[in-house]
């Protein structure tokens, strides 16, 4: 692990978190911990309106920071976007969102970091280059390696258009065959376009490329 990607264990009121030592190295998919609603401002559960007392204790959702009773905030769910080491207490609404995001972290991000092979065309060029495309380990860059080398910062990507084939007017299955990516060049307002096309030869795994494109579509959302 390079010095720029080093992490440290910190304790917050919400729990233990493994965070990058340098703020600039944070994942673009990360979330800051929310401020907690002060205890004195929530005499009742903010979901079911139950009054708090010595028996009915108040709990804060680690994702939204609001106050709830145990019944409305009983689930402990992983929250990777805030770098928590263990599952943390969340209200029912936030728990559903976090559960969906956990699937994204466990599946789509791993697919992107493993990489896939595409023919990449830069701008309006009529020449393409075979490149391995992957998400960097710190999730901050899209790395392209071939005869050329590119590193595109995720936060600089402005649009992602997935190219498909097989669609019919009456419906039907489609499959992802490529992607058009537009991003801003750091330090300027210039927008650069790249086109990614899955290879048709047997040296390129079509299934892997399609999975990578589907994961990239999730990222763009």
**pLDDT on residue 3:** 45
Is residue 2 in some structural domain?
Answer: no
Q: State the chain's mean pLDDT as an integer.
A: 87
Of 117-121, 175-179, 194-198, which range is least confident? Answer: 175-179
Q: Average pLDDT in the 2-6 region?
A: 58
pLDDT at residue 202 is higher than 60: no
Residues spanned by the domain of 38: 7-110
**Distance (Å, rounded) from C-alpha 182 to C-alpha 76?**
38
- Strand partners of residue 143: 134, 151
Q: Are residues 127 and 213 in the same domain?
A: yes
Residue with tokens 């699937």: 103
Q: Are residues 154 and 186 in the same domain?
A: yes
Q: Are residues 155 and 80 in the same domain?
A: no
Q: Are residues 89 and 119 in the same domain?
A: no
Of 125-139, 156-170, 184-198, which range is least confident? Answer: 156-170
pLDDT at residue 2 is higher than 50: no
What letter would DSSP give residue 78? -
Question: pLDDT above 90 covers what percent of the chain?
Answer: 51
Who wins on pLDDT, 170 or 71? Answer: 71
Is residue 201 in some structural domain?
Answer: yes
Q: Are residues 70 and 36 in the same domain?
A: yes
Q: Are residues 81 and 38 in the same domain?
A: yes
Who wins on pLDDT, 144 or 219? Answer: 144
Residue with tokens 């680690």: 62
3-state helix/strand/coil string of 144-184 = EECCCEEEEEHHHEEEEEEEEECCCCCCCCCEEEEEEEEEE
Is residue 160 in some structural domain?
Answer: yes
Residue with tokens 């494109």: 213
Q: Average pLDDT in the 58-67 region?
A: 96
Is residue 65 in some structural domain?
Answer: yes
Q: Are residues 125 and 98 in the same domain?
A: no
Domain CATH number, residue 137: 2.30.29.160
Q: Average pLDDT in the 53-60 region?
A: 93
Q: Are residues 81 and 119 in the same domain?
A: no
Do 51 and 43 form a contact (C-beta atoms < 8 A)? Answer: yes
Domain count, the chain: 2
Residue with tokens 């905030």: 73
Which of 132, 136, 110 has its CA nearest to residue 5? 136
- Show which of 71, 94, 110 is a domain's final residue: 110
Do 81 and 30 form a contact (C-beta atoms < 8 A)? Answer: yes
Q: Average pLDDT in the 100-126 region?
A: 89
Do 93 and 66 form a contact (C-beta atoms < 8 A)? Answer: no
What letter would DSSP give residue 44? B
- Residue 145 tokens read as 């390696």
pLDDT at residue 4 is higher than 70: no
Q: Where are the alpha helices (DSSP H) in the chain?
A: 92-103, 109-114, 206-220
Q: Are residues 144 and 183 in the same domain?
A: yes
Q: Are residues 186 and 207 in the same domain?
A: yes
Q: Are residues 71 and 122 in the same domain?
A: no
Q: Average pLDDT in the 55-63 region?
A: 94
Is residue 38 in some structural domain?
Answer: yes
């Amino acid at each position: 692990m390079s010095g720029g990607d080093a992490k440290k264990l910190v304790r917050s009121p919400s729990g233990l978190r493994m965070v990058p030592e340098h703020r600039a190295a944070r994942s673009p998919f990360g979330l800051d911990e929310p401020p907690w609603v002060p205890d004195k401002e929530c005499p009742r559960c903010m979901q079911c309106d139950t009054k708090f007392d010595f028996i009915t204790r108040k709990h804060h959702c680690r994702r939204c920071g609001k106050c709830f009773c145990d019944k409305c905030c009983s689930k402990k769910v992983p929250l990777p976007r805030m770098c928590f080491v263990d599952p943390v207490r969340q209200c029912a609404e936030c728990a559903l969102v976090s559960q969906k995001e956990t699937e994204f972290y466990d599946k789509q991000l791993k697919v992107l970091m493993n990489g896939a092979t595409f023919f990449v065309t830069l701008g309006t060029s009529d020449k393409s280059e075979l490149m391995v495309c992957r998400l960097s380990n710190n999730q901050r860059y899209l790395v392209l390696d071939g005869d050329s080398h590119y590193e595109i910062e995720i936060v600089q990507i402005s649009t992602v258009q997935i190219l498909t084939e097989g669609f019919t007017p009456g419906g039907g299955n489609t499959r992802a065959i490529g992607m058009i990516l537009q991003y801003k060049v750091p330090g300027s307002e210039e927008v650069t376009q790249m086109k990614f096309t899955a290879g048709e030869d047997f040296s390129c795994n079509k299934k892997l490329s399609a999975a990578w494109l589907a994961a990239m579509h999730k990222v763009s959302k």
